[in-house]
Amino acid sequence: MNDRQRFNATMHYQWRDRVPICDLGFWAETINVWKQQGLPGWVSGGYDTTTTDEFFGMDAYIGGPNVNVGLCPPFEHLVIEDRGDHELVQQPDGVQVLRKKYMGSTFHPERHLLVDRASWQKHYKPRLDPDTPSRYPDWDEARRCWQNSDYPRPRVISGGSLYGWLRDWMGCEQISYLVHDDPALFEEVVTTITDCIVEVHQRAFDNGAQIDACAMWEDMCYSGGPLLSPETFRKYLVPQYQRITEQLRRHGCDVVWVDSEGNIEQLIAPWLEAGVNCVFHVEVGTWRQDPVDLRRRYGRDLLMMGGFDKQLLAGGKNRIEAEIQRLAPIVDEGGYIPFCDHRVPPDVTMSNYMFYLHTARDVWAKQVNLKPFGALATSDPVRSPTASDT
């Protein structure tokens, strides 16, 4: 089987030769540390997993021609001010943030451009026009991929974000006030975003798109739960999600995942009601979200990806192996693609990660039809944990 066939079989609880072996990605700092531990210089980090997939023998879970359903054109990326170990940056979403130069995935927003209806009308609404030509791929080239039944990677289309983008554009505090102070504007914004997504998707389908999955992003929860009450979520967002998911299903796409960090427990049921049926990188976190427990409670209705606690990778090898074995029954059942619950951080040694990967290939994939490792990654680490690994 190729990556696409294996992905689709897994997500539909069908026979497959094995589970996909993949990962969400690696911090750039992780890759830099590992290069001091023997990783070749051509391997790079971040969310682009092209080189890490090649080196670690990973399968792809995303690919194919895509469309742009977000702000188009984006705001100009600018470094506004150098502040030593930080820099003030204008992001493509128009927000000015103070970002660390090292471990720069964490940042502090300093200024938001979207503050009221006037700034929405001036700066953001025009960037959600589905007629913008740069949103679309070369249709002839895209059709060649969509119409190729042997296309090797899962064909995944961007599904956008109904709350997460707006929270970024306005800031968490301001969007929390907006929902109560001006619900009409909140509804207008999320409806406009959905209008753009639905129209852009329709043009893709009209041009022959054949899609395996749709990827949405929200990041609308923290350790204590959602930033938007489930009641408000159902009132304003579920109807908009349904517009997207019903259109996807009419065109043969019945796998829709949402990437939302934090404790999503209270939103799983409304997402399922809305047609979003897959949790992407189930995050363990301090609240100990558990794929085994989610499968027990939601059954086969809830597809899952991720869910291996990345914190275990920095500890002992016996704990890594025990967790791989614990997840094995639901991996075997299907509807679940296991990998780390976020990008692998730099406190994980390359030796530990290689132990995790070799063990996952043994236990989850049973050494069936695996992709080869890159040079220097082929040696099997010691299988028996030592006393120092406890």
SS (H, E, C) the chain: CCHHHHHHHHHCCCCCCCCCCCCCCECHHHHHHHHCCCCCCCCCCECCCHHHHHHHCCCCCCCCCCCCCCCCCCCCCEEEEEECCEEEEECCCCCEEEEECCCCCCEEEEECCCCCHHHHHHHHHHHHCCCCHHHCCCHHHHHHHHCCCCCCCCCEEEEECCCHHHHHHHCHHHHHHHHHHCHHHHHHHHHHHHHHHHHHHHHHHHCCCCCCEEEEECCCEECCEECCCHHHHHHHHHHHHHHHHHHHHHCCCCCEEEECCCCCHHHHHHHHHCCCCEEEEECCCCCCCCHHHHHHHHHHHCEEEECECHHHHHCCHHHHHHHHHHHHHHHHHCCEECCECCCECCCCCHHHHHHHHHHHHHHCCCCCCCCCCCCCCCCCCCCCCCHHHC
Among the listed residues 29, 10, 32, the one whose alpha carbon sits nearest the alpha carbon of residue 21: 10
Among the listed residues 149, 286, 303, the one whose alpha carbon sits nearest the alpha carbon of residue 294: 303
Which pLDDT tens digits describe the chain residue by residue (390 residues)? Answer: 999 999 999 999 999 999 999 999 999 889 999 999 999 999 987 777 889 999 999 999 999 999 999 999 999 999 999 888 889 999 999 999 998 876 655 678 999 999 999 999 999 999 999 999 999 999 999 999 999 999 999 999 999 999 999 999 999 999 999 999 999 999 999 999 999 999 999 999 999 999 999 999 999 999 999 999 999 999 999 999 999 999 999 999 999 999 998 999 999 999 999 999 999 989 998 889 999 999 999 999 999 999 999 999 999 999 999 999 999 999 999 999 999 999 999 999 999 999 999 999 999 999 999 999 885 555 444 333 333 343
According to the model, what pLDDT value does residue 388 have? 39
According to the model, what pLDDT value does residue 383 have? 39
According to the model, what pLDDT value does residue 320 have? 97
Torsion of CA 186, 189, 193, 199, to 10 degrees: 120
Angle made by CA atoms 268, 272, 277, in degrees to the nearest 5: 95
C-alpha–C-alpha distance, residues 134 and 176, integer Å: 32
Please report, in angstroms and rounded to a whole number, the separation of the first and last CA atoms in the chain: 38
Between the alpha carbon of residue 189 and those of residues 169, 181, 317, the distances in Å are 11, 14, 48
According to the model, what pLDDT value does residue 31 have? 94
Where are the domain boundaries for CATH 3.20.20.210 in the chain?
Answer: 3-73+115-372+383-389
Residue 25: CA count within 13 A, CB half-sphere: 12
Retrieve residue 30's tokens.
């992780």
According to the model, what pLDDT value does residue 48 have? 79
CATH T-level fold of 3-73+115-372+383-389: TIM Barrel (3.20.20)
Q: What is the CA radius of gyration of the chain?
A: 21
According to the model, what pLDDT value does residue 385 have? 37
